[in-house]
Amino acid sequence: MTTLFEVNTKLTECLHDFGLECHPFKVGWYNERVKSGYQLEHHEDTLCFVVISSPSFFEKGFIPFVRNSTESNNQDYLDQAISSCLKTAIQSISGYDISILHDYEMRPGTRRPKVLVQTAGHVSGAVYFYQKTDVINPPWLTDQPIYGVCLHPSYIGWFALRAVIIFQKVLVPDLVYKPPKDILVDETKKIELLNRYNNSWQDWSFRDIMEPTERYSELQQKYLSTRPSERSHLIELIKRN
Ligand code: B12
């Protein structure tokens, strides 16, 4: 458990400076939930962390990254910023065999993501993953696809699940499962959340299904609602100010 404590403390401290959170879980908890095509091929007791960007990531991690970067390859600035912050955090803990799976990475030759970050978030206890199956009397047709969505106990919908960090050779058989908080105890709220997420996600109202402690800043909202191909003037603005 000392390894877990040390790694957890260092990662948490370092990521916090960038507005990122991390929460530990075991591969086995994740694999128990997902179908075989999504499973992680590691021992069931392998230590992993799910990484969440809080509303302040934009100001604490993203903007400094943009201001310090001299050139850009074609990759999204947000993805580059996350990757750079994670690399910095990992450098603070040496001697481990670590792999990072980003939310946008696909398994080669398939259209399946390397990791389902919502399930990872749920089994880590950090966020609750609301799915169609959480609703006892669903108003939807049985075969109607309804995408699930996670809520954070503080930021509600104002966050993103960015990555999973795997400590390939660290086994934590004694890690204690911490169930996520179901903050929507009312069935009608769960239905409303899933309807907002599936039918009107563009208006972002699913993020406000309850009152959050923090929301994205105006600039962050503007940046995210601008198409990636049209973000260059915002990047210039951020670099200049
Ligand atoms: C592909 C994808 C999409 C696709 C398809 C969505 C989907 N859910 O399938 C499309 C393009 C439609 C999409 C859209 C959006 N997306 Co999207 N998307 C993804 C992505 C990359 C992969 C999801 C995926 O392929 N799922 C495959 C299906 C099969 O997984 P699943 O439904 O979860 O099924 C598993 C679980 O049910 C699990 N399971 C079974 N039983 C149980 C029981 C329990 C208790 C648990 C925990 C699990 C579990 O097993 C199943 C697999 O075997 C994820 C990032 C990632 N890497 O996870 C983001 C992600 C889900 N998207 C996200 C968002 C925000 C959006 C959008 C709002 C757009 C945006 N980015 O702003 C819209 C909203 C949806 C809509 N109305 O269109 C966020 C959701 C954040 C959150 N709070 O939950 C994610 C996590 C990205 C992120 N970085 O945060 N998305």
Q: Is 30 in the pocket of ligand 1 (CB under 6 A)?
A: no
Q: What is the pLDDT of residue 3?
A: 84
Q: What is the pLDDT of residue 72?
A: 62
Q: What is the pLDDT of residue 241?
A: 80
For 205, half-sphere exposure in the C-beta direction (CA atoms, 13 angstrom radius) is: 10
Q: Is 111 in the pocket of ligand 1 (CB under 6 A)?
A: no
What is the rounded distance in angstroms from the CA atom of residue 30 to the CA atom of residue 170? 16
Say which amino acid occupies 149. V
Domain that holds residue 181: 2-240
What is the rounded distance in angstroms from the CA atom of residue 163 to the CA atom of residue 104? 9
Q: Which residues contact 144 (CB under 8 A, 6 or more apart)?
A: none
For the chain, the domain total comes to 1
Q: What is the pLDDT of residue 70?
A: 81
Nearest by Cα to 208 from 88, 62, 55: 55
Q: Separation of 236 CA from ligand 1 center, angstroms?
A: 31
Q: Is 149 in the pocket of ligand 1 (CB under 6 A)?
A: yes
Q: Is 147 in the pocket of ligand 1 (CB under 6 A)?
A: yes
Q: What is the pLDDT of residue 74?
A: 61
Q: Separation of 240 CA from ligand 1 center, angstroms?
A: 35
Consecutive H or E run containing 98: strand 98-102
What is the rounded distance in angstroms from the CA atom of residue 239 to the CA atom of residue 98? 32
Q: Spell out the per-residue pLDDT of the chain, length 241, in tens.
A: 568 899 999 999 999 999 999 999 999 999 999 999 999 999 999 999 999 999 999 999 999 999 998 866 666 899 999 999 999 999 989 899 999 999 999 999 999 999 999 999 999 999 999 999 999 999 999 999 999 999 999 999 999 999 999 999 999 999 999 999 999 989 999 999 999 999 999 999 999 999 999 999 999 999 999 999 899 999 999 998 8
Nearest by Cα to 214 from 156, 139, 131: 156
Q: Separation of 205 CA from ligand 1 center, angstroms?
A: 17
Q: Is 113 in the pocket of ligand 1 (CB under 6 A)?
A: yes
- DSSP helix, strand, coil percent of the chain (3-state; round to 5): 40, 15, 40
Q: Is 124 in the pocket of ligand 1 (CB under 6 A)?
A: no
Q: Which residues contact 58 (CB under 8 A, 6 or more apart)?
A: 19, 216, 217, 219, 220, 223
Residue with tokens 């803990």: 93
Q: Is 155 in the pocket of ligand 1 (CB under 6 A)?
A: no
Q: Which atom of ligand 1 has the smallest separation from the CA of 35?
A: 53
